[in-house]
Amino acid sequence: MAKSLKLLEEDNRIQLFVSGDGLRAELVVKKPLSEEELSSYEELKDFLDSRGIVVGIKEEVLEKGKKLLQEEGRHLIAEGKRPQRGKDGEVKVCFTQELEKKWEENEEGQVNLFDFLKIPEVKEGDVLAELIPPGEGVPGQDIFGKEIPALPGRPAKIRVGKNVELIEEGAKAIAKVAGRPVMVGKTISVLPIFELDGDVGTSTGNISFVGSVVVRGTVQSGFKVEAEGDIEIWGNVEAATVQSQGNVVVRGGIFGREKGLVRARGDVRAKVIENATVEAGQDVRVGEAVFHSQVSAGRKVIVGGRGLAVGGKIRAGSLVWVKTLGSPMGTVTEVMVGIDPALREEYNYLVEELEKVKNQLAEGEKVFKAINERQKAGKNVDSNVLKILEKLEKTCQLAREKKEFCEARLEELEEIVSGGEGKILVEEKVYPQVRITVGNLTYLVRDEIPYASFYKKDQEVVMGSFERPRS
């Protein structure tokens, strides 16, 4: 009768390991058996059967059998099947928000090359989105033959904004009014559109609208366009103010004359930015060049075409991608990545406020000290002075509370700033006098550098070769 392999376990010549989840079994051969010894022992599969291991036995075990005991080392002998979580539910969007470009002939057979934009519209009651339920998942099985239940996929949820309502217990979203469907982030809304055939100027005054705005002209200096939806401008933006809760698209350029402001919660797109301030909650994408401007984006700033970025300051949460950064004349240009510009502004503001509060408290302490010295010297203190001291004490108490708040919030922000990651990509050349900041670390370019990337590593800004992002 063949001897049990359990005897080899007791002699510490082999050892069987089973993972805690029962999905893997490994056999460790510490002292291999000789051919003569091997003949007197049971088959390896019988040994595994005695241990209840019946599923996922490896081909190597089936082929070699107990001859595996002649090979020293660790052998994976059985592996179960892990459960597969069900596919997550999805939101099926039933509309497009992309603008359609369609050229049409007039009665005379002529084509107006600029009159081609068709804005998507929905009618009241149209279905805007539907829920796709999550999948059930595929059960697994451990090496003992026990089924491992699978987790179902995570359910999705339709997020609705203005003029959209959920029906069928949240399974569908429909339009409450006719208008243009939009999606900012993951929230679906229907916004009516205001369209202006011409410039925003003296004949129209400022424009403020709850939906989206299309201007088939230029926004002239000194005027404002504000919208809760998207803004599209077919011409230029001069020294004007354009603010959107969605996206801003400028087909021409933004020529701010050091006064212009374009701000969007989503993306900002323009052909050129010159002497202007541009702020985007997500991306800023420029067709040709940025000159002497203040540009900030929560995610990315990308300059295509000629790809010039000269002068001013560019800030982005994760990526700045240009072809040429700075100029041969050494124009001072600053680029910052790794921190959401809004958080960086908050950090700088709190630093200034904390300094003001400290100075205020220091001045108050001087006054209190002077009064105390006067009282110790036995001199009378006027009642009016005492009233002033009482008010000063209240002011200082408020200052101390503000100081505590600023210090606590700065401590939170310093963790974010110090850990900020990001990358600056330069396809062609970066010139001297360009200041690179990644998170809280700064690098000043002193020589011309071709095909470069800048990022943070080991608490310093390092330079590498240019690599085109995958997406």
- Read off the pTM: 0.54
Residue 117 is predicted with a pLDDT of 40
Residue 418 is predicted with a pLDDT of 59
Are 64 and 43 in contact by the 8 Å Cβ rule? The answer is: no
Question: Could you tell me which of 297, 237, 292 has the C-alpha nearest to residue 270?
Answer: 237
Strand partners, 213: 194, 231
What does the block give as tokens for 404? 């505590």
Residue 192 is predicted with a pLDDT of 79
* Dihedral sign of CA atoms 188, 194, 195, 196 in order: negative
Residue 375 is predicted with a pLDDT of 67
Residue 284 is predicted with a pLDDT of 96
* Alpha-carbon gap, residue 343 to 83, rounded angstroms: 42
Q: Counting beta carbons within 10 angstroms of the beta carbon of residue 278, is it exposed (0 to 12), middle (13 to 18) or buried (19 or more)?
A: buried
Residue-wise DSSP of 321-332 = EEEEES-TT---
User: What are the distances in angstroms from CA 327 to CA 332, 333, 436?
Assistant: 9, 9, 15
Give the other-Cβ count within 10 Å of 42's Cβ.
Answer: 17
What does the block give as tokens for 321? 């991608």
Distance of CA 169 to the CA centre of its chain: 31
Are 381 and 375 in contact by the 8 Å Cβ rule? The answer is: yes
Q: What HEC string does 55-90 produce? A: CCECHHHHHHHHHHHHCCEEEEEEECECCECCCCCE
Residue 201 is predicted with a pLDDT of 83
Beta-sheet pairing, 241-244 with 224-227: parallel
Ranges under pLDDT 70 in the chain: 1, 99-106, 109-119, 210, 340-341, 374-381, 385-386, 415-420, 470-471
* Alpha-carbon gap, residue 340 to 316, rounded angstroms: 6
pLDDT digits (tens, 9 = 90+) for 215-261: 999 999 988 898 888 999 999 999 999 999 999 999 999 999 999 99
Residue 41 is predicted with a pLDDT of 78
Give the other-Cβ count within 10 Å of 335's Cβ.
Answer: 27
